[in-house]
Structure 1
């Protein structure tokens, strides 16, 4: 059954509706990256054009006829996102209808199940389990940090001490009550994705800490809650989450799929990898990629799974259907602490999709999958040609090598996937890609 892939990353539900130029660029890069979900005869609804050479390479790598793919892109002279208004525009809907007339059965596969996606399903006559929940904007419950704390508390997930605040006085009270636990607190914008809305305040002078766009040394008496409130909140988001900040020895996520029949399938788990910037003035760590499977010890993994499953089951019982991923840490004192959940495609979803199609469902018992961001290259084609020349390109017989995922030509970088038989080999390959 062919699918309609809806690449609506960066929607207002995820970003708060105030997209910067950098966030628009990320949404475009996400669309290129998500093209790897495609199967033969799928229809891709994307905010941007996807290069023909990328689609051809995807088809050749995953062994299907890429010429069978169809692409619908909104007509726009400006960078855009695939928000509900754009998705439901007459032009987009009519173009989708023209493409799907040749087949009687289709499925929708959105990044984010928005109200607009549910309305599109009704217009196309494609019923989906979970549409009623999406029509009431139910998935937003699973993509807000405040709602995560509320829902997670109801199923007894271990969380950092914290609170939800809605004004500067609440922010001041929360920071004051939490700062003594570890000497650091993290303040999170309710609907900021990827840590871009987070700020860490610490009384301990330190290098940038994971999980935030800025780490700030603070003399607590000089803390100005009104200034921070004004800086962090937006016209569409006047809610912050304040938590005690814990240093971590491992960062990881767990990803699940809630199926139409209400069953819950574990999809994958990966470690989140970060590094310091060479620029000493940079106040955030650089996200270098993901590593699948996660490097947790068996007991840690089983403990995290048992807790996370309760949250996923609650999400199912609320009415949500689709992908859901949950971020967590094991703190340096050994405690398991959950940070947030996202009811949508996660960063590891594409990597898992590629791995099972090339290696089989049990790949995690035999392989390590590493995403490597910011590999220097002027274009996707240049990266591909370099990997062929250097003998790095993924080899189906050996079942290892490098796959270029997508290029950010403005930045002059390419994201790649390393497939290796073990972690040392994968890390060596990463160093070879990134250079000295």
Structure 2
């Protein structure tokens, strides 16, 4: 069945004012949206917010064996900007409708995929006459399954372990909660209720040397905490007054304050929740934190088998909680594992995630069981030449993905603005994946040195 892909990471369910996103978060949304292109088949249609990189589309189509048939991809930049509510972008809706009519498929044959199935996507489905069950999503279900506060409430009710902490509003409650909890480990992490990729997270610590893994910014305190904390929070855009002066592009401010565990590792699982039946685990891995999320290791390495089993079992139960709310689709579940191998769970996100495209690459290039006999290492932000030229470098160096062996380097995303890529190093074991990764980074350094 053909599908319509609405790649909407800057959804109204994720950001307060999508049109007002600062340049760096907006560029991040463009990259997140481009990850969804790996799911395309020749007959599909995609709408992305950023520019169309034809070189990357050709690279992707060639690697996926689409026989030169590049799917139809529309950029919102060619219409009226990043407004996903369909009545704000009538020209784009009309173009999608024309493509659907010219496809040769009946409307009932089409499915819809999105980064997050929010109210705007539900409006698209109804407006285009697509045969989907949009009703629960028209009730803002996406906001519930992307809320850290909702997650903590459901997890505690089900007996799922979560870090010690509370949901709070900006103001005195935030200050009092930080002062109450910071003595546990010397650090707390303050998270915006709805945000992603660590962008809404601030580590508050009394440790001068602590690295803020998982945080966009670090606030270090000394002296009289009770006196200094309100001013320091205000200076770091954690608003304290009765009136909300929101940082640009950020969701309305409710915060989660949690005790921070310094010596922990971050795990993430992804499941597909059907409308009926048991949720299905698609993948799980360890997030690389440098200090914010910078890639994945799939599956996690150097963990006891009991931790693997517990994480997968708990993820299934958390997904069932989301299903009981009425949600179906992809869900990502994050956890931390301490030095004592104890697991605590921090959030769920009912949407595509940072590993969705990696999982799609693994399944399409290697097979549905790729996690059983491959190790994948990914990293974001490696600077290289444009994709067409860089793919030739990979071939000459013997690093390009080899379909016969099921190993090599895949370029997961390509940012034509900054020249940064997300790469996937695929090896038959950890040692081979690490060797490929090192060779790739050496190649990128050599190319940069010769420029």
TM-score by length of 2: 0.89
Q: Please tell me the root mean square deviation across aligned C-alpha atoms, in Å.
A: 2.0
Report deviation, 1:9.
1.0
Choose 320-329 or 421-430, whichever is displaced more.
Answer: 421-430
| Pairing partner for 1:119 from 96, 117, 123 | 123
What is the 5 A alignment of 1:393-408?
A: 393-408=400-415
1:119/1:333 CA distance change after superposition, 3 Å = same
Structure 1 portions without partners, runs of 5+:
276-284
State the distance in 2 between where 1:334 and 1:396 align: 37
Q: Is the 8 A contact 1:74 1:86 kept in 2?
A: no
Match of 2:310 in 1: 303
- Aligned ranges 1:31-430 → 2 under 5 Å: 31-67=33-69, 69-76=71-78, 80-81=81-82, 83-85=83-85, 89-101=89-101, 102-104=104-106, 105-129=109-133, 131-219=134-222, 220-225=225-230, 227-229=232-234, 231-233=237-239, 235=246, 237-275=252-290, 285-295=291-301, 296-430=303-437
Of 26-35 and 37-46, deviating more is: 26-35
- Aligned partners of 1:170, 1:202: CA distance in 2, in Å? 18
* Matches of 1:378 and 1:87, distance apart in 2: 39
Check conservation: 1:273, 1:290, Cα contact below 8 A: yes
Q: CA deviation at 1:336?
A: 0.9
Post-superposition offset of 1:188: 0.8
How far does residue 312 in structure 1 lie from its aligned partner after superposition? 0.8
Q: Are 2:15 and 1:11 aligned? A: no
Q: 1:217 to 1:9 in 2, by over 3 A?
A: same
| C-alpha spacing 1:429/1:222, structure 2 compared with 1 (3 Å) | farther
Q: Deviations over 1:5-60 (max 9, x none)?
A: 11001223223325110011112222333211111211111113422222222121
Q: Is the 8 A contact 1:87 1:116 kept in 2?
A: no
| Aligned-pair CA distance for 1:70 | 1.4
Classify the secondary structure of the residue corresponding to 2:167.
Answer: strand
Q: Deviations over 1:223-250 (max 9, x none)?
A: 3236515712553512111111012442
Report the secondary structure of 1:15's partner residue.
coil
Could you say which residue in structure 2 is the equivalent of 1:279? none
After TM superposition, give the deviation of residue 376 of structure 1 in Å. 2.1
Secondary structure of the 1:180 match is coil
Deviations 1:255-276 (A, max 9, x none): 101123344111100111123x
Distance 2:410 2:2 in 1: 25
Q: Structure 1: how far apart are the matches of 2:353 and 2:252?
A: 23
The change in CA–CA distance for 1:207 and 1:181 in structure 2 (over 3 A counts) is closer
- Distance change in 2, residues 1:313/1:394 (3 Å): same
Provide closer, same or farther for how the CA distance between residues 171 and 179 of structure 1 changes in structure 2, counting only shifts above 3 A: same
Structure 1 pair 164–247 and aligned structure 2 pair: CA distance change class (3 A): same
| Count of aligned pairs | 424
Secondary structure (helix, strand or coil) at the match of 1:393 reads coil
Conserved 8 A contact 2:58-2:70:
no
